[in-house]
Chains A and B, each alone.
Chain A
Amino acid sequence: MAQLASGSQVYGVDFPPSQYDQDWTVQANIASTSYASGTPEVAVSITAPTSGKVLVCLGAGIRNNASPATNERAVVTYRVLEDGGNGDVFTSESAYRGIISPGPVVASTYAYRGTFSLERGLTPGRQYYIQMRHRSTSGGGAVDIASRDITVIPVP
């Protein structure tokens, strides 16, 4: 095995690059109660580190634009797909890992918020696709999303 000179710059295989994506296209009048990716999709592709763990951090601006106010809420979360997005669902959507708007909310103003969640059990070296997903709780069509962002960080 070749030896390294003291002071050489080395890179750990443990930590593939972090990934980030954002989009500020308004997703207006969301009426579907099943999860959708929106247009454009906000998603990242990441290589799993040797720990098999990544931190998934989401941000979103959400409102209920109904007047008078209703109880409809928007859920913004994510799912993880295997094989860089071509494979099975590794982790499906859950509001517990996402951001949900409180309802009823005064119409017209967006609230910007964030959340974090740890994904475990990824196979080191494999590619995963982590995709933001959203839905309406009641299908009333009064909820809007102004901004979406996702940061995924390999962690020990």
Chain B
Amino acid sequence: MSNDLSAGTRVRALDFPESKQVYDHTDHLNMTGTTYTNGSPEVGVRFRAASSGRAAVTISTGIRNNTTANEDRIFCAFQVYVGDPADGVEFQSEEVKLGLSNMAAGSDDIHYGGHLTMLTGLVPGEWYYARFRHRVTLGSGTADLTYRKILVFPIP
């Protein structure tokens, strides 16, 4: 290596690859699926791991159960793959405790919210794919989802 840097020279850190965010407002109404699905369109981001091996994942959503007749809930979570989903190497499976759900019944208004958690143990410089996933708990066809967002950013 040549061209030594003087003290005080501004340098570009390898530590901070690009932040990524995708959102979609397509309504998913009267949902019945009790296994996790991507929805349409899929809301996912491809991101590169920072040298820390850590990233913050935030999902945000707008959800409701549009009846007082049952306690159906919408579980919103994220899933992370190493490389691409087609490669089939899952890094983090869906877990609602790291995501969001609605109040069960008695409300026809949409709840909006967000939840941030941390991924650790990523391989620095490696590419990953994180996507929004959702399901309902009862499948009664009364639960609606109107907004999905996923944001991933590198953290120290």
Binding site for B on A (CB under 8 A): 1, 3-12, 15-18, 20, 22, 24, 49, 57, 59, 61, 102, 105-106, 108-114, 116, 146-147, 149, 151, 153-154
Contact = CB atoms under 8 A, between A and B. Distances in A.
A10 B56 contact: no
B43 interface: no
B147 to A, nearest CB: 15
B45 to A, nearest CB: 18
Interface stretch (B27-35, B86-94, B97-105, B127-135): B97-105
Contacts, number: 113
5 contacts: A3-B7, A22-B98, A114-B100, A147-B97, A149-B117
Contacts of B3: 5-6
A17 B54 CA distance: 9
Given A12-B13, A111-B102, 7 more contacts: A6-B5, A18-B156, A22-B98, A59-B117, A106-B106, A112-B99, A116-B114
Contacts of B100: 112-114
Nearest to B153: A153
Given A1-B7, A59-B98, A116-B116, A9 B14 contact: yes
Task: Summarize B's interface: helix, strand, loop or mixed.
Answer: loop
Contacts of A49: 156
A154 B1 contact: no
A59 B58 CA distance: 11
A6, A8, A49, most chain B CB atoms within 10 A? A6
Contacts of B102: 111
Nearest to A146: B97
A105 B1 CA distance: 64
Nearest to B105: A106
Contacts of A6: 1-5
Interface of B: 1-7, 11, 13-15, 51-52, 54, 56, 71, 73, 75, 96-106, 113-118, 120, 137, 155-156
Contact of A149 (B97, B106, B113, B156): B97
A15 B156 contact: yes
A108 B52 contact: no
A99 B85 CA distance: 33
B136 to A, nearest CB: 12
A5 B2 contact: yes
A18 B98 CA distance: 17
B15 A15 contact: yes
Given A24-B97, A106-B103, A151 B5 contact: no
A114 B114 contact: yes
A106 B1 contact: no
Nearest to B72: A109
Contact of B13 (A10, A149, A151): A10
A114 B156 contact: no
